[in-house]
Chain A
């Protein structure tokens, strides 16, 4: 078994002050989300509605994509289709290369992260500048994003100051977020002015109108699509919604779930290329149709990439985005990664306490923790669990099936727990005793106390 989530998480957690800070920073987002959600009286109804619209759309995805294409073409938008990441990258490169583009500005797109578009284009002589501030920070650092909404949440402002000093020439020791942002604004404005094309993701594509909607707070997608004449927008097949009015539902829950804002600063609706320019939409499958075919996990396709499940997850908050080793981290990332390759990402199914908090905050009601539990069952049935876990589960199964064995195990555990030396109990073997003291074990079980007090065979 290669390195899994637990080992990677242990590395992150080893820096205790940073792990604590990360935990608190994300909990702050969760609290903001709660305030925004509770200010909308029909919040729960909106979640149900969003979930139902997505379920209907999944059942008619092909039809809605065709409708979207028809309407987009009528508005002068070019539409491309890509079966997988390679085809996507080659289509995007083809569009850029045909027009001699060597300088591209990009706004956030998790799809292009998933397809590893940046290295593909860079290897072919195209300079790619990520323009979301967080994404630019991790790009300059040579790292992937660690969170889908807050790509640089794992970095301290002093580290960003050092990075900007080295890469952008800001004064040494500058660590004020306002001044650092101002420096990035100047640096990126030059890039926007020099760019020959802009690439964006797509938050929603509307079948009824043939347009795409992109949401940002910084305005980077708008800068990148209104200065250069060429706009390429990349979307997964699941981004289409049937009607214009559906946007009202999804936009009301998206920003509130993501950052606790009532809406993003810019919610831009593209229903035509700019004057004298071109707009290309690339529609990508890359495994999504296979997920649609999977009855147990298909609801994960409803994800609108708000990141709320990450902010609330007690495991994500304490283990960091990189511990998932997948483009989309956190609870929904664990579902999507194991759907893509169950064995390779097997440990992610266990990167959860199954507390269900992700389900409670998900704006489209994806049953995330049920899916993680189902994945554990699937992995166990496929014999894909590590030997230690298999043996443990076999033993536990035997003990829990037999009352005498269960009572014996309880007596043994209490006896050992009360008499064995602390050094042995809290040894390296016992993961439960890390960072906490074990509670004192009682002298007798509930069943034994009952027998003593009431006599008889004890409660059944």
Chain B
């Protein structure tokens, strides 16, 4: 008997009675403006929120941000943010992502309860760009904010092969005496541009 069949057989033999699968209700409605709650949560996660009046403001805002970071190698996957200086399609191997100073990536949606932004791997070309880059900028349309993870999962689909993740703030650790340190392995800063 294969390991698979043996394990499945044991689990079937040991199965307790089924109490039934409960429905997952929507999260409780919360007071306050969605964008304001999202902004607070981004900050609580160690990120920075920049609210912009429209897409036209994104280019200059990203340029100013890049200048402040002294970022030279910039990968942009958001057309309105400008072309950047590194085309990810030109990198044959993901190891060449090392040395990117700033990555500007599209956020599919933002979650107000925890400041997380969903990033779809299909938009990245190299999936590791969000973590290898020294600094991260995420662009989220204000119309795509949801109150909580329940609503977020109602909008996400995983029908085919794919990759995606929630990102909440910059990379961080508290493994040395509980002291919060920003910039463990991944991005040292995370700025969310809300349009």
Interfacial residues, chain A to chain B (CB-CB below 8 A)? 25, 28-29, 40-42, 49, 52-53, 55-56, 58-62, 65-66, 75-76, 81-83, 87, 131-134, 137, 150-153, 156-157, 160, 177-178, 180-182, 185, 188-189, 192-193, 206, 209, 211, 217-220, 222-223, 226-227, 237, 242-249, 251-252, 259, 261-272, 274, 283, 285, 289-290, 292-293, 295, 298
Closest 7 CB pairs of A and B: A226-B128, A219-B186, A272-B161, A262-B114, A134-B175, A293-B14, A218-B184
Chain A residues near B115 (CB, 8 Å)?
262-263
Chain B residues near A274 (CB, 8 Å)?
94, 127, 163
Chain A residues near B19 (CB, 8 Å)?
52, 55-56, 59
Chain A residues near B156 (CB, 8 Å)?
244
B189 to chain A, nearest CB (A): 12
The majority secondary structure among interface residues of chain B is: loop
Instruction: Tell me if B11 and A292 are in contact (CB < 8 A).
Output: yes
A367 to chain B, nearest CB (A): 15
Task: With A81-B2, A82-B3 as known contacts, state yes or no: A266 contacts B166, CB within 8 Å.
Answer: yes
The CA-CA distance from A82 to B2 in the complex, in Å, is: 10
B68, CB-defined interface residue at 8 Å: no
Task: With A42-B28, A181-B181 as known contacts, state yes or no: A242 contacts B94, CB within 8 Å.
Answer: no
B95, CB-defined interface residue at 8 Å: yes
Closest chain B residue to A247 by CB distance?
A: B153
B27, B162, B184: most-surrounded residue (chain A CB, <10 A)? B184
Instruction: Tell me if B16 and A298 are in contact (CB < 8 A).
Output: yes
Q: Kindly specify which of B59-67, B70-78, B102-110, B144-152 makes contact with the partner chain.
A: B144-152
Instruction: Tell me if B171 and A151 are in contact (CB < 8 A).
Output: no
Instruction: Tell me if A267 and B158 are in contact (CB < 8 A).
Output: no
Q: Which of B24, B30, B171 contacts A245 (CB 8 A)?
A: B24
Instruction: Tell me if A156 and B177 are in contact (CB < 8 A).
Output: yes
Task: With A157-B176, A181-B183, A226-B126 as known contacts, state yes or no: A247 contacts B149, CB within 8 Å.
Answer: yes
Instruction: Tell me if A227 and B128 are in contact (CB < 8 A).
Output: yes
Instruction: Show 26 residue pairs from A and B whose CB-CB distance is below 8 angstroms, ordered by the A residue.
Output: A29-B178, A52-B22, A59-B16, A59-B17, A59-B19, A65-B11, A75-B161, A81-B2, A131-B185, A132-B175, A133-B175, A137-B176, A218-B184, A226-B131, A227-B132, A237-B11, A242-B21, A249-B150, A261-B114, A263-B149, A265-B46, A266-B171, A289-B14, A293-B10, A293-B14, A295-B16
B169 to chain A, nearest CB (A): 6
A430 to chain B, nearest CB (A): 36
Closest chain A residue to B181 by CB distance?
A: A181
B43 to chain A, nearest CB (A): 11
B188 to chain A, nearest CB (A): 9
The CA-CA distance from A150 to B148 in the complex, in Å, is: 27
B6, B17, B113, B149: most-surrounded residue (chain A CB, <10 A)? B149
Question: CB-CB contacts of B160-174 with A at 8 A, as 1s and 0s?
Answer: 111111111111111
Interfacial residues, chain B to chain A (CB-CB below 8 A)? 2-4, 6-22, 24, 27-28, 30, 41, 44-46, 94-95, 97-98, 111, 113-116, 126-128, 130-132, 148-150, 152-154, 156, 158, 160-179, 181, 183-187
Instruction: Tell me if A226 and B183 are in contact (CB < 8 A).
Output: no
Instruction: Tell me if B164 and A269 are in contact (CB < 8 A).
Output: yes
Chain B residues near A134 (CB, 8 Å)?
173, 175
The CA-CA distance from A56 to B153 in the complex, in Å, is: 20
Task: With A59-B16, A222-B131, A266-B167 as known contacts, state yes or no: A152 contacts B174, CB within 8 Å.
Answer: no
Chain B residues near A53 (CB, 8 Å)?
21-22
Chain A residues near B95 (CB, 8 Å)?
193, 227
Chain B residues near A133 (CB, 8 Å)?
173, 175-176, 184
Instruction: Tell me if B177 and A178 are in contact (CB < 8 A).
Output: no
A361 to chain B, nearest CB (A): 18
Chain B residues near A83 (CB, 8 Å)?
3, 6-7
Chain B residues near A245 (CB, 8 Å)?
24, 150, 153-154
Closest chain A residue to B17 by CB distance?
A: A59
Instruction: Tell me if B15 and A61 are in contact (CB < 8 A).
Output: yes
Instruction: Tell me if A267 and B165 are in contact (CB < 8 A).
Output: yes
The CA-CA distance from A206 to B162 in the complex, in Å, is: 14
